[in-house]
């Protein structure tokens, strides 16, 4: 019964853009120093990524970043010599926490830290509900912005395939954290990630790397043949957009 052990053996991240990570130094719970960011770039290169768009947290309660604080960290990292053949860092975005502040700011304008000028990366509290997400989705669509929900497998209030389908119908793109498939966030998250992948509901994949070890761990990721087929679909979709 050798077919049970068949693995998907293509390079998983070759040529991709990692548009969700915490590479920029010193402004959230990600990289602490420029040196650590350079170590991350080295690890990115080993995984085969073509480019990296850093997305620091914008979360009023914990990481009240602004376009200015993020630009400053971006310039700090841009000013030093990067490892040979490291992926490019063409621009930066943010990972917006959808809370009351986010909704309030949406009423008065368009968030400026977008990806490819049209996507916005959003997250919600891990243990909270999804009401604000629905409100945000409506406001964002009015402004012509396309929301990408970061790591949908990690939220306690989201569990069933029907819930994920409903989010997609509302206009959300779903982004898998690749580390979820390795059980990095626990067995339940792993199970949900496998279920969403199998249902063909993920649109994008990213690392959400906070430090070099996250990226080194990803070198151990192996997929079954069935998962590999779904992964191919995500890769193709992403390569055409980022
Ligand atoms: Fe993140």
Ligand 1 centroid distance, CA of 29 (Å): 9
- Whole-number pLDDT of residue 6: 65
Ligand 1 centroid distance, CA of 233 (Å): 23
- Whole-number pLDDT of residue 228: 96
Percentage of the chain exceeding pLDDT 70: 98
Ligand 1 centroid distance, CA of 94 (Å): 9
End-to-end Cα distance, the chain: 40
Ligand 1 centroid distance, CA of 95 (Å): 6
pLDDT reading at 218 higher than 90 = yes
Ligand 1 centroid distance, CA of 190 (Å): 17
d(CA 142, CA 219): 40
Ligand 1 centroid distance, CA of 5 (Å): 32
Mean pLDDT of the chain: 95
- Whole-number pLDDT of residue 31: 98
Ligand 1 centroid distance, CA of 130 (Å): 18
Average pLDDT of the residues in 89-114: 95
pLDDT digits (tens, 9 = 90+) for 21-75: 999 999 999 999 999 999 999 999 999 999 999 999 999 999 999 999 999 999 9
pLDDT digits (tens, 9 = 90+) for 160-191: 999 999 999 999 999 999 999 999 999 999 99
Ligand 1 centroid distance, CA of 97 (Å): 10
Written in H, E and C, the secondary structure of the chain is CHHHHCEECCCCCCCCEECCECCCCCCCCCCCCHHHHHHHHHHHHHHCCCEECCCCEEECCCECCCHHHHHHHHHHHHCCCCCCCCCECCCCCCEEECCHHHHHHHHHCCCCCCECCCEEEEECCCCCCCHHHHHHHHHHHHCCCEEEEECHHHCCCCCCHHHHHHHHHHCCEEEEEHHHHHCCCCHHHHHHHHHHHHCCCCCEEECCECCHHHHHHHCCCCEEHHHHHHHHHHHHHHHCCC
pLDDT reading at 151 higher than 80 = yes
pLDDT reading at 206 higher than 80 = yes
Ligand 1 centroid distance, CA of 2 (Å): 38
Residues with CB under 5 A from ligand 1 (ion): 95, 208
Ligand 1 centroid distance, CA of 57 (Å): 7
Average pLDDT of the residues in 217-241: 97
pLDDT reading at 108 higher than 60 = yes
- Whole-number pLDDT of residue 3: 47
Q: Which domains does the chain have, with CATH numbers?
A: 11-239 (3.20.20.140)
pLDDT reading at 1 higher than 50 = no
Ligand 1 centroid distance, CA of 4 (Å): 34
Ligand 1 centroid distance, CA of 21 (Å): 6
Ligand 1 centroid distance, CA of 227 (Å): 23
- Whole-number pLDDT of residue 2: 46
């Amino acid at each position: 019964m050798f077919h049970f052990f068949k693995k998907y053996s293509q390079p998983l991240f070759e040529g991709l853009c990692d548009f969700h990570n915490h590479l920029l130094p010193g402004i959230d719970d990600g990289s602490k120093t420029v040196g650590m960011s350079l170590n991350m770039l080295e690890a990115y290169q080993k995984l085969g990524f073509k480019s990296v768009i850093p997305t620091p947290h914008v979360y009023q309660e914990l990481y009240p970043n602004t376009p200015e604080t993020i630009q400053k960290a971006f310039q700090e990292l841009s000013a030093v010599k990067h490892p040979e053949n490291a992926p490019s860092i063409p621009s930066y975005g943010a990972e917006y926490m959808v809370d009351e502040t986010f909704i309030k700011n949406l009423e008065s304008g368009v968030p400026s830290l977008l990806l490819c000028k049209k996507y916005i990366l959003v997250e919600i509290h891990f243990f909270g509900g999804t009401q604000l997400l629905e409100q945000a989705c409506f406001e964002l669509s009015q402004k012509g912005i396309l929301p990408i929900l970061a790591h949908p497998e990690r939220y306690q209030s989201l569990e069933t395939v029907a819930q994920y389908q409903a989010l997609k119908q509302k206009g959300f793109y779903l982004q898998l954290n690749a580390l979820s498939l390795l059980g990095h966030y626990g067995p339940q998250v792993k199970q949900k990630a496998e279920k969403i992948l199998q249902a063909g509901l993920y649109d994008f994949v990213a690392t959400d790397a906070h430090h070099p070890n996250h990226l080194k761990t990803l070198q151990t990721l192996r997929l079954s043949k069935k998962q590999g087929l779904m992964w191919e679909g995500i890769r193709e979709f992403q390569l055409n957009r980022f």
